[in-house]
């Protein structure tokens, strides 16, 4: 018999399905009464060898009329002690007789809890697939797969550039510097688009590592631009080094921490 001291408000069904998912509905329930709940949690103890669980719940026996179990005169007069022992024996027998009913009821609750848990686990993939047309199983890029989990909140996060900076920082595990401004491919101020630029500060990358990071970043940039960046905003995401520049054979990695400007 193993004592269990979980979160007081957690139900026995949720706890057992979490700790013993392979057990299914093979548990035998022994309801000790709600009196114990005054100072205990729902689960009093668990015997994983005998597959028995004690709960602080009322048995079906508690629904029986009081006069059917004992009489008001049982503990009065001579021989009260002997009658008390007989009464306790009757209660034990009745408790054992109602244990199958309590067990079947508990197993039904276990099954319903497992079905509800399964529905909740599949809720997010169902929403993404039905309402956004995104199938998580078909997304190969791990960064995009993580970002797709935020699609249910896209209506409140679209255009929140600071939130996207924090998201990139968490996904790429690096510092992110964000700037906003104007973009024009003709270098004029007459026709321009709002611009947001994210610089991912990742030091110490070799040429191969830098190319791989850029390759992994591009699908994420396209995904965020499609869902979280307004269509009229030009978005750039680049990888920069900060601190001491990374050198490979005394040469800087071209394009990593430098720009080529043509006049």
Query: Is 145 a domain residue?
Result: no
Q: 121, 148, 172: which is the final residue of a domain?
A: 121
Residues 9 and 84 in one domain: yes
Last residue of a domain, one of 94, 121, 148: 121
Residue in the block written with tokens 């503990």: 75
Model pLDDT for residues 127-138, shown as the tens digit of each residue: 899 999 999 889
Q: Which residues contact 191 (CB under 8 A, 6 or more apart)?
A: 184
In a domain, 217, yes or no: yes
Residue among 173, 180, 186, 189 nearest 236 (CA): 180
Does residue 34 sit in the same domain as residue 114? Answer: yes
Range of the domain at 91: 2-121
| Domain presence at residue 260 | no
- Closest among 237, 257, 241, 258 to 165, alpha carbons compared: 237
Number of domains in the chain: 2
Whether 43 is in a domain gets the answer yes
pTM of the complete model: 0.55
Verify that 15 and 76 share a domain, yes or no: yes
Give the model confidence (pLDDT) of 177-186 as tens digits: 999 988 887 7
Residue 178 lies in a domain: yes
CA distance 78 to 74: 10
Q: What is the mean pLDDT of residues 77-83?
A: 74
Residue at 133 is within a domain: no
Are residues 25 and 107 in contact, defined by beta-carbon separation less than 8 angstroms? yes
The most confident of the ranges 71-75, 188-192, 230-234 is: 230-234
Same domain, 192 and 88: no
């Amino acid at each position: 018999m193993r004592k269990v001291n979980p979160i007081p408000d957690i139900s026995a069904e949720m706890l057992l399905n979490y700790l013993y998912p392979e057990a299914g509905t093979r548990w035998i329930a022994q309801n000790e009464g709600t009196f114990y709940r005054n100072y205990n949690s729902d689960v009093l103890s668990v015997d994983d060898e005998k597959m028995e669980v004690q709960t602080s719940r009322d048995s079906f026996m508690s629904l029986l009329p009081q006069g059917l179990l004992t009489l008001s005169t049982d503990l009065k007069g001579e021989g009260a002690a002997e009658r008390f022992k007989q009464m306790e024996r009757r209660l034990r027998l009745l408790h054992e007789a109602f244990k199958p009913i309590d067990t079947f009821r508990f197993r039904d609750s276990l099954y319903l809890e497992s079905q509800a848990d399964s529905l909740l686990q599949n809720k997010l993939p169902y929403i993404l697939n039905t309402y956004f047309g995104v199938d998580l199983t078909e997304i190969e890029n791990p960064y995009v797969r993580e970002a797709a989990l935020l699609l249910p909140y896209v209506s409140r996060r679209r255009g929140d550039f600071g939130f996207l900076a924090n998201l990139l920082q968490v996904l790429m595990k690096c510092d992110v510097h964000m700037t906003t401004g104007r973009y024009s491919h003709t270098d004029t101020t007459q026709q321009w688009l709002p611009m947001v630029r994210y610089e991912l500060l990742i030091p110490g990358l070799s040429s191969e590592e830098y190319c791989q990071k850029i390759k992994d970043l591009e699908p994420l940039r396209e995904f965020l631009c499609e869902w979280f960046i307004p269509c009229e905003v030009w978005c750039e995401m680049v990888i920069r080094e900060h601190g001491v520049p990374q050198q490979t054979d005394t040469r800087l990695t071209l394009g990593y921490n430098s720009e080529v400007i043509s006049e």
